[in-house]
Amino acid sequence: MADAKKGERDPGASPYLAHIVGDTLRDLTERRLAELVRSEPVPKHLAIIMDGNRRFAGQHGMGVRDGHQAGRDTLEELLNWCLELEIKILTVYALSTENFSRSPEELEGLMDLFDRSLRDIATDERVHRHQIRVRVIGNRTALPARVQEAIEIAERATRDYAAYQYNVALAYGGRDEIVQAIRTLARDVRDGKLDPDAIDSEAVSRHLYTRDLPDPDLIFRTSGEERISNFLLWQSAYSELYFSDVMWPGLTRLEFLRAIRAFQLRRRRYGT
């Protein structure tokens, strides 16, 4: 083919060049941001509201099950990113009590995913190498027997670990959690085990699913929604919040680093 005339531009060159330049700038930005994040303290406890699987699926011509599978793949990446930054405690919102109103077909697919994922955790090389303790918080009795069994397998396989903690909120509702704590305290008062005047915030905290965990430093939600949707209501009293427009399956390491960096740049006042 003859050479292009002087001054004549190859119509395919500019988009290709723009793509290369864009990737290079993104890589440089991510590398620099990672350096900044590592230079300062990261959240000890990060909580994630993983939202947007279904909308991501719709935007990409995928079925709902495929959208949830893509979300599960992102969660796998997230665990790697947290290990990289040595974030010691990760709590993810996988299924709320309100989610049980979804179609039987979608719920069945989700239960299959939870069942498989929890069993995989028990043999995950990363989990054992980094000594990650895995726990599920929520109303387990609302889950199918096979998922309850998978929970027991994952927790039993990691119960002696303490370097990291990975908590999965399944069949979880913040209000329900608080109500259950109040009921337990009320029974103790009724039975003469507890003086009503001894009930304080610490007493309530001791009866929550997260009783032995520090409150989350940062709650990070994807999908553009700016609310916490019944997640860790009691525990989030002084948590920093970060909202991203990215749908959960589309979350990148760069956007994750931006969330952590935003947290680092804030001054936490704790009501003062």
Q: Fill in the amino acid letter for 244.
A: S
Residue 56 to residue 67: CA distance in whole angstroms: 6
Which residues are bridge partners to 136 per DSSP? 168
Task: List, as one string, the DSSP characters of 178-229.
Answer: HHHHHHHHHHHHHTTSS-GGG--HHHHHTTSTTTTSPPPSEEEE-SS--S-T
| Nearest Cα residue to 50 out of 266, 247, 253, 245 | 247
| Nearest Cα residue to 211 out of 135, 143, 122 | 135
At 176, is the secondary structure helix, strand, or coil?
Answer: helix
229: left (phi over 0), alpha (psi -120 to 50) or beta: left
Residue 39 to residue 257: CA distance in whole angstroms: 13
Residue 22 to residue 230: CA distance in whole angstroms: 39
Active site residues: 51, 99
Query: If you count DSSP H runs as helices and E runs as strands, how many of each does the chain have, helices first?
Result: 9, 6
| Nearest Cα residue to 211 out of 242, 189, 184, 229 | 184
